[in-house]
Every structure is written in structure tokens, then in C-alpha cells.
Structure 1
Amino acid sequence: MEKVMIVARSADFGEPWCQRMRGPIANQLLDLGLPGVVVNVRDQPVRDSMMTLTTLNPPAAAIISLWTQQYYSEATQAAIALIASESEMAAAYLVTESMPMPPPDPGEGRRTRGLANVALLRRPADLDQATWLHRWHIDHTQVAIDTQATFGYTQNVVIRALTEDAPAIDAIVEENFPDEAVSDPYAFYGAADQADLTDRVGRMVASVSAFGAHLNIDTVPTSRYVFRTPFVTHTFETT
């Protein structure tokens, strides 16, 4: 099983476009028979998040995650083409997925509660791959969990781009926060008071700075819709 992530970019990501992405387009993706389909889209509940950072023009407006048996399959290629036809620009990436904190799965295309903040990371040129991954995965992961009010945390390392002219991205991260985190820094960081907030922000900034995630980054506020997942929990009975 492989995971492909498509970054759809559009300057006009009004609610009709968002509804189409999480409605008819999601249904067409399901019709392709892909084992997993998740749509993250910058729709009305989250679009004005205080944590938005943008380097791409046009900006990222949706991130679609697909699970497939082969990244080069006809179904995967059809999915990439479909998203590209609905966007000003779209880029697909083959990724490896780590999930320190699995987000809830409401299923059947229902919206996951809260803000799904998606970050597009670039590795600094002065950090080799091994050092960058160690500082991010080994040193930083627990700091992120401890200093923020996350209830879901997914790390995707980009293996390579699958489309021509794809922007350089080295990782795609999704963190799930409470609804209030859209506009309230105390809710975003899970802080009790100003002193606690200052401490949490300070620890977080120091940690992300160590692997360059404080610069040259896009953070995209999205709502998360899980339409199909390849991960099934099996229950076994013993006698």
C-alpha cells in the first residue's frame, strides 16, 4: 500500500469550490476504487485561521490523501488528473506516513471535528536528510504533542514528486486542534494562562527552529473529511 498526497492550489477557493471538492469530486475519487480517500479543504469553518502562512501563489486550498496499491496505477493517475482539472495548479507527491497521534475517523465523509492544520515543510539546505529527520521525528515530536492542544498528528515525508513542476516540498504535516483554535491561541496551545502560553510558544519555536520549520513554510487551515480508509480494525474471538 502506498500513500499519495495531492496539493490543490487555487486563488478562488470559495465555498462552492470547497463543496465540490468534498462532494462530487470526492465521489468520483471513490468510484475509482482507491482503498483510501481523505479530503482536507480550506472551507468556511476554518478559512480565517490565525495560524495561516503562505508562500505559494496561488495558495494551497485543499490537500487530498489517497491510498493506492501502486502510485503509478491508472486509478491514481486518473485521480491526479481529476484534481488538476478542478484547480489552478495541482501537484502530487509520494510520501511515507508516520502517525504519532492517530486522528479520529468519523467515516462516511463526515467532517472531523476541529481545525486540521496542514503544514508544507522544506528541509533547509544546511541540514542533511538524516539530521533533519532526527531533529524533527526524534527530538521534536513529543515537544509538539506536549506544547499544543493536538488530538491528531500525522507526519508525511515526501519521497518524490509525481507531477511536473511540483513545488519543492519535503514533508506534509497534519495536526488536529479544537474548533476554538481557529481564533484563540490559548485553545491552539492548550494554555491555562499568559505565562503558560508564553512558555509553550517558546518551547515550540525553539524546537521547530532546530529543523528549519519556522521559515519557508505554508500552513493551510482545513476541515478534514474521511471518505474511505484502508485501515480496518479486526476483532478476533477465541474459544
Structure 2
Amino acid sequence: MPDKTMIALRGLEDRPRLLDPELIAVCRASGARRLQINVDDVDVDGAMRISELDPPIDAVVSVWGADPEPVLDALRQCCVAPAAWSVTERVPLTYATAGDGSRVDALANVAFLRRPGDLARAEWLRIWLEEHTQVAIETQATFGYVQNVVDEPLTPDAPLVDAIVEELFPMAAVADMHAFYGSGGDQAELERRMTRMLESVVRFGADRNLDVVPTSRYDFDFSAG
């Protein structure tokens, strides 16, 4: 059983249903010690979105320590074909939440990365995890940053994805690039940060063939019983 499972939902018509107590109860009963729901909703309207997949990703459900099958069965009531991956989580920048299902006060971006075919997996991981990580932290106003390396797909129709990145930004970043990059209104500093970030992502192909989903995030901590 995977420690962390991430599930992407497309063609989601009823976003509020993801927070239905019955669905939360199914996730808890699956053995999950934690549940995280990220959904593209009205609170993040206007934020930058990049979509390679058609239809685009509308939400991401993450569970820790759960049997993914009952969770997937429940989510199939919300969309046609949820796609799931087992991932290995790395947290360079942690942010504690209440865990009571309340909305995190943030723009929560979720990015789905794909490794370029001309870059070996070991080298791709080295550049991303060892060299790019600090650049991302230093050039953006993130206050939460999680890197998920995909171990294997758990559904037969899961799109090709090599990694999934989760980042928390101030809510002002929905509409303000200075708030997104933490440049304090200084145009020259904004351009410097954007240039440095772009140069870094180009090195491992994260400037193309990716999906970036702006979301609201809700966390549930079941570990306390």
C-alpha cells in the first residue's frame, strides 16, 4: 500500500461535493491518517493556469496511508475517470495547517511535471531536487513547498506524469506578480527573479509540457483519532 497517493480529477462538475462529509468519511475509513483536497474554485479565479491535458485537471485529492481503492470508488461518483499515482514525498518548505478541514489562506498551486525524453531520470531528479529547489524558494514567495516523485501509476488510464509539485503562495499572488515572486513592487527585482527561475526550470524541462492548477486547499488530519 502506498504511503501517499495523489489523485487528479478532470471533468469535475460538482466541486462542493469533494467536501461532502460522506466523502471525507470514506477517505477516513480507508485508513488514511491525513487527507488533502485541492480544488480549482472561485477563490482562485484569475490565477495563472497551464493545461496540457484536455479536459484540464480541476482538483487533486491526496491521502496518506490509505487503501486507494475505496477512495477512487468514491471519487468516481464525482468525475468519470480519476487518475492516481503513488508518490514519494519530499518537503523542503513545511507549513503546518489546522487539519480541521478549513481552507488554507493561500493560493495553492499544483504542478504536474514530465521528464524530457532526452534527459535521463537520475539526472533529471538531480537537477530538480538538488539544484532547482533552492532557486525556487529564493525566487518566489512560497511559504509551503512539497515535491512528489511519482513512483508508479495506480490507475490504468493515468496520464504520464513524473512528478507533482505543491506550492503555497499568499492569496494576493492570484492577481499580483510581485506577490507571487516576493519582489515587493520592485520591477527590476521581479524581472531578476523571473529570469533566474526560468533559467533554472529550462534545465530540467519544466518550462514546457506541464500542467499548473491553481487551487484552494483543505486539510484533514485523522491521526489524532
TM-score (ref. length: structure 1) = 0.88
Mapping 1:158-237, distance limit 5 Å = 158-192=150-184, 193-228=186-221, 230=223
Q: Is the 8 A contact 1:95 1:156 kept in 2?
A: yes
Mapping 1:20-169, distance limit 5 Å = 20-24=17-21, 25-49=23-47, 51-68=48-65, 75-169=67-161
**SS in structure 1 at match of 2:119:** coil
Taking the aligned partners of 2:154 and 2:181, their CA distance within structure 1 comes to 35
How far 1:229 sits from its partner (Å)? 5.5
How far 1:33 sits from its partner (Å)? 3.5
Taking the aligned partners of 1:180 and 1:23, their CA distance within structure 2 comes to 28
How far 1:68 sits from its partner (Å)? 1.4
Gaps of 5+ in 2: none
Count of residue pairs brought into register by the alignment:
221
Given the superposition, is the C-alpha separation of residues 57 and 144 from structure 1 closer, same or farther in structure 2, using an over 3 Å criterion?
same
Taking the aligned partners of 2:192 and 2:222, their CA distance within structure 1 comes to 37
TM-score (ref. length: structure 2) = 0.93
Given the superposition, is the C-alpha separation of residues 229 and 138 from structure 1 closer, same or farther in structure 2, using an over 3 Å criterion?
farther
Q: Deviations over 1:57-83 (max 9, x none)?
A: 1111110111116xxxxx421101211
Taking the aligned partners of 2:68 and 2:190, their CA distance within structure 1 comes to 43
- Tell me what 1:237 maps to: none
Which aligned runs of 4 or more in structure 1 are off by greater than 4 angstroms?
Answer: none
Q: Is the 8 A contact 1:8 1:84 kept in 2?
A: no
Gaps of 5+ in 1: 70-74, 233-239
How far 1:29 sits from its partner (Å)? 1.7
RMSD: 1.5
Taking the aligned partners of 2:128 and 2:78, their CA distance within structure 1 comes to 33
- Percent identity, aligned pairs only, is 45
- Tell me what 1:236 maps to: none
Q: Is the 8 A contact 2:4 2:64 kept in 1?
A: yes
